[in-house]
C-alpha cells in the first residue's frame, strides 16, 4: 500500500502494548505512528480540530449543539495529541 484515507483524524494518542500485556498512552497520534513507522501517507478528509471549529461556530443552534461541542472538547482534552 502507498497510503491510507480516513474520514476523520481524531488526533488522539496512540497506545503501546507493554511487556506485561498492559497498554499505555504515548505522546504521538495513531496517524503519526502510521506515517513514521510504516512510511505511509495518511489523508484525512477532516480533523477533530476542524469539527471543533465548526461546532464553535454553531452558537446560534442552541443547547444541543453546545452540549455536543462540550463533549467533543472533553474528548480532545483527554485523548488529544497537540500538533497531530
Q: CA gyration radius for the chain?
A: 15
12-16, 20-24, 29-33, 56-60: lowest mean pLDDT where?
56-60
* Cell numbers given for 83: 500538533
C-alpha torsion 58→84→8→57, nearest 10 = 10
CA nearest neighbour of 80 among 18, 35, 40, 29? 29
Q: Is the pLDDT of residue 39 over 90?
A: yes
Quote the pTM value.
0.78
Confidence of residue 21 (pLDDT cuts 50, 70, 90): very high
CA nearest neighbour of 57 among 84, 49, 82? 49
- Identify the pLDDT of residue 83: 64
Amino acid at each position: 500500500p502507498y497510503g491510507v484515507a480516513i474520514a476523520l483524524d481524531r488526533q488522539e494518542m496512540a497506545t503501546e502494548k507493554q511487556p506485561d500485556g498492559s497498554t499505555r498512552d504515548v505522546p504521538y497520534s495513531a496517524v503519526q505512528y502510521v506515517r513514521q513507522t510504516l512510511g505511509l501517507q495518511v489523508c484525512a478528509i477532516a480533523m477533530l480540530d476542524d469539527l471543533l471549529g465548526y461546532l464553535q461556530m454553531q452558537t446560534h443552534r442552541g443547547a444541543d449543539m453546545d452540549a455536543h461541542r462540550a463533549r467533543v472538547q472533553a474528548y480532545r482534552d483527554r485523548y488529544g495529541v497537540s500538533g497531530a
